[in-house]
Chain A
């Protein structure tokens, strides 16, 4: 055995690529959990949510460091995901005339599609609520303390049926991605076995449902008028 044979490095090897996807994926999941807890302050009220948003905005360099970190995670995850998919397309140049599926779940077989749709949504979401480019009128929303009125922005945004529908559909796709992703993480990292795997599959689905309900609760609450604009409008 000579070592010169090992020309494939960790980041390009099949198993290494998967580990990179798994680690970036789980960190993105970590963000999803923190982001959800932050956003749910919508239900506490205008003061709480705007104060929280202002605190985040005031972090300065830390904020930009965090944004850069998130960007790197997303770029690595998407890039490796696309490479993985392209290589897998090439691995079977001639397909079957008849092809059956015994146990591969639909969520596992649609990861690249749900993934790319999530990416499209993330771009829209950032333009919508972070850059405020799609609805520039939000920028005028200020609360009584002169802060950016994130509370009113969210409610105004979700009062639009079309926008609310986009968010709800995107959250469904995200949850669908996660139902395979969370379980897949443990298998890829080598922390699954025949005893744990069925339990991990179950917990992965439960987690995906929690994420969906958590995020979907906000547009739904706005649509049902459960949370309303302070003083009833602009």
Chain B
């Protein structure tokens, strides 16, 4: 199949950037979206042009590195799919595809389609952990955890931190990401000790990074490749309120 691509090209963080048009020829519909870009890049390299920079790592939908806005949707048209797992069979011969980077003040573009997501790391450093004194690993059965709580924590822990929630949110809010992390720890007994400081610090860091405020659009949930539910946002709001009221 043949496609017309409009791709965001930007030399570096200071460049203004622009959309550029490329023709993708003889694309096999079994390819993933990233493999399609690899083919386009090989052509560009042969022509002596700078290839399109985009983020990727595992290419199996688990690392959260790939991050493309495709025709206005984070990770493209398929639900619950990272862009590395998106196959070209979901497109038709002759399609025009717009490819843009995640857009948020807190995620500055570094080059082409690559953005700096270290704001997420700083939010995690602010409280997204459980402090444990070093020592032997505790016995697995020493700390019973109800199935319901373990399930909730697992659902929240499915977040791979890709940032699709921020990219798709009309307010560029990071609430779904932060909520997933807060809820994951708050659901488990290990996380209880630092529960109050955790939510306050993570929310404070989120605000400092310049993400927008949540206005309950729920667009993040639809864009999330791991289908993290907005119920976690409600859970975090509750955690935050409890932390404030009982401080």
Contact = CB atoms under 8 A, between A and B. Distances in A.
B70 to A, nearest CB: 9
Contacts of B210: 90-91
Interface in B128-181: 131, 168, 170-173, 175
Given A15-B203, A91-B105, A101 B237 contact: no
B234 A91 contact: no
Given A102-B223, A188-B216, A8 B204 contact: yes
A92 B205 CA distance: 18
A145 interface: no
A103 interface: yes
A128 interface: no
Nearest to B247: A10
A104 B74 CA distance: 14
B2 interface: no
A193 B19 CA distance: 41
Interface string A49-73: 0000000000000000000000000
Contacts of B206: 14
Interface size class of A (residues with CB under 8 A): 35 or more
Interface string B73-114: 100000000000000000000000010100111100100000
Contact of A88 (B69, B194, B208, B212): B212
A233 interface: no
B232 to A, nearest CB: 9
Given A5-B201, A91-B171, A93-B105, A103 B218 contact: yes
Given A14-B213, A188-B216, A91 B173 contact: yes
A187 B105 contact: no
A48 B75 CA distance: 61
A19 B241 contact: yes
Counting chain B CB atoms within 10 Å of each CB, the highest count among A3, A8, A15, A88 belongs to A15
B213 A18 contact: yes
Contact of A193 (B109, B127, B212, B231): B231
Counting chain A CB atoms within 10 Å of each CB, the highest count among B215, B222, B223 belongs to B215
B21 interface: no
Contact of A15 (B72, B168, B215, B236): B236
Contact of A97 (B6, B172, B223, B244): B6
Contacts of B194: 1
A41 interface: no
Interface of B: 6, 8, 19, 69, 71-73, 98, 100, 103-106, 109, 126-127, 131, 168, 170-173, 175, 194, 197, 200-201, 203-208, 210-219, 221-223, 229-231, 233-241, 244
Which 8 pairs across A and B sit closest by C-beta, in order of nearness?
Answer: A190-B238, A91-B212, A100-B72, A104-B217, A88-B171, A102-B222, A91-B172, A98-B72
Given A19-B237, A92-B105, A183-B216, 4 more contacts: A5-B201, A8-B208, A14-B203, A98-B69
